[in-house]
Amino acid sequence: MKNVALYLRVSSQTQTVDNQRIRLVDFAEKNNYSFDVYEEVESTRKTRPVKQALLAKLRQNTYDAVIVYKLDRWARSSTELILDTKELLDKGIGFISVSDNLDFSTAAGKLHFQILSAFAEFERELIRERTIEGLRRAKAQGKTAGRPVGSKDSKKRKKSGYILREAKKRQDVDSGKGIHKSVEAYLN
């Protein structure tokens, strides 16, 4: 019996994972998989703690596969999807998208994955070319690249206290872990 992880994600608390849960649980039960459910609610572009926890378990080979409702529920960009699924497939962990009818562990799924990879690479190259061309045009028009000069750039920044503030931050982090040292220990 395969042990799989079901990953469900919505973008805000006003949305629900109920439809995803019904489809994924039904799929797992029909295929006689044992499963755990991972629900990500109100994720942002940069933070998806449930997905990160699941990836850590997948890296430890806790599951044979991860099953998602749709590819866009797992990743927010084609690049993220390619990198994540390649890592999983290289470790022998399956990746299944129920609504997209894709199983990247099969021959047909591997072909789909290669096609997705090719399009992601093509998309990255187009973006790179447009960026270079835009910078070239801006330079020809006499514009300078980079952040515009602001009021903070005209005067010297205050550095006093920075090292002590950083030492106290590290002390607070360790204190939360039960490690107690004097602030002087963090000053070197």
78 is an active site residue: no
Q: What angle, rounded to 10 degrees, do the helices at 107-140 and 78-90 form?
A: 140
DSSP result, 80-128: HHHHHHHHHHHTT-EEEETTTTEETTSHHHHHHHHHHHHHHHHHHHHHH
Annotated catalytic residue within 11, 99, 105, 117: 11
Cβ-Cβ contacts under 8 Å for 105 (sequence gap 6 or more): 65, 89, 94, 95, 96
Let me know: does 58 contact 93? Beta carbons within 8 Å: yes
Let me know: does 109 contact 103? Beta carbons within 8 Å: yes
Let me know: does 27 contact 37? Beta carbons within 8 Å: no
Tell me the catalytic residues: 11
